[in-house]
Amino acid sequence: MQLIKGGVCAPKGFLAGACHCGIRKSQSKSDLAIIYSKKKAQTAAVYTTNQVKADCIYVTKEHLENHEAQAIICNSGNANACAPHGRENALREGAACAQTLGISSEDVIVASTGVIGQELPIQCIEEGVSQIQLQEDGSDVAAQAIMTTDTRSKDCAVRFEIDGIPCHIGGICKGSGMIHPNMGTMLAFITCDVAIDAQLLQKALLENTKKTFNRVSVDGDTSTNDMCVVMANGMARNKPITMEDEAYASFKEALKTVMENLAIQIAADGEGASRLLSVTVYEAETEEQAETLAKSICSSSLFKAAMFGSDANWGRVLCAMGYSGVDFELSKVDVSFASQFGKIQVCSQGRGLDFDEEMAKKILSADSIQVLVCLGQKDQVVTCWGCDLTYDYVKINGDYRT
């Protein structure tokens, strides 16, 4: 498997583009994107677990009842959630895309991101969508158009082989705030040229989501608009994957690589974040135990604040583990911090160690920090990702709507 460039346009037969249609006041920021497949694609999706869902979620679910799609349209600047005429405007957005591309509106996935509760200015989309020029190198402009509080666009693509045939998977995503396990304010659009059965595509997406996007936490909030979509158009011309064989395993692993890469980019770009946190719990009794503990640590506001201050306050790690709801043997727990500047153990068998505070502060001043928790039980390992909690997070969210 090889990391390549191209994002959603890396697989054969996919084009992308974007424009500024007027949803956002800033004329310099694109706010409408389309991803298009030259052939109708088998399509799978997962959605937010929030009971309050944007109307585009319901429309997309209906359109994917046959597991097929040919295009994605996504606007930023307005979530079209709990908004006047929400369903009508979501349908109109999909219809505008379909008319522009000359396809059926039922083959369009509709996604939105932005402020909740405000009516979507649908006329801007209907009048502006024809400006979008779909291109074979249009992934980055599409990735920029779906951003909200993100500070940078996010993409990934891989090349791999199935039975000796070159195949490709590429993706873009957005996400910075309202990110929590079971997805957050994130949209991920993934394309591939693999021929695969729709049910197996859905299975691979669900299982990989649990181990990638659902292991990211920025701030403990889960949004109304979250969506992860995978389109597979079969243009690589591999023998169709119809069972869980070696070809399926190769595809699933490649998909996980892309999804994990995107998930880590989201964590690193958390609102106001100054550093990426990777929390690994190892020698756990079960995967579920390790995952729950790692998520609890990642989600702790006190721990995240300590990481912002480069403070090796390992007690907050144990505290977050203690209220996680799962059992573990405190007397076997070791805690270490690591980064490009070295590694230092701060806790052994549930008790504090004398350690070099200056060295610890240097290690925790890096842009990327590893928190290593050993349970001393069995052999399960899980990593979750998050970021520190900074002053800027409050500044960003204090006046987000206004």
Annotated active-site positions, please? Answer: 185
Chain CA centroid to CA 46, Å: 11
With H, G, I as helix, E, B as strand and everything else as coil, classify residue 138: coil
β 227-232/187-192 pair status: parallel
With H, G, I as helix, E, B as strand and everything else as coil, classify residue 348: strand
Identify which of 47, 46, 97, 42 has the alpha carbon closest to the alpha carbon of residue 69.
42
User: From the CB of residue 32, how many other CB atoms can be counted at a distance below 10 Å?
Assistant: 29
Identify which of 208, 163, 162, 159 has the alpha carbon closest to the alpha carbon of residue 188.
208
CA dist list (Å): 93 to 38, 226, 308: 20, 18, 41
Contact in structure between 101 and 15 (CB atoms under 8 Å): no
CA dist list (Å): 365 to 138, 190, 203: 36, 34, 40
Amino acid (1-letter code) at residue 109: I
Cα separation, 395 vs 402, whole angstroms: 12
Identify which of 74, 136, 128, 75 has the alpha carbon closest to the alpha carbon of residue 100.
128
Cα separation, 291 vs 275, whole angstroms: 21
Cα separation, 395 vs 271, whole angstroms: 10
* Cβ neighbours of residue 208 closer than 8 Å, sequence gap 6 or more: 252, 255, 256, 259
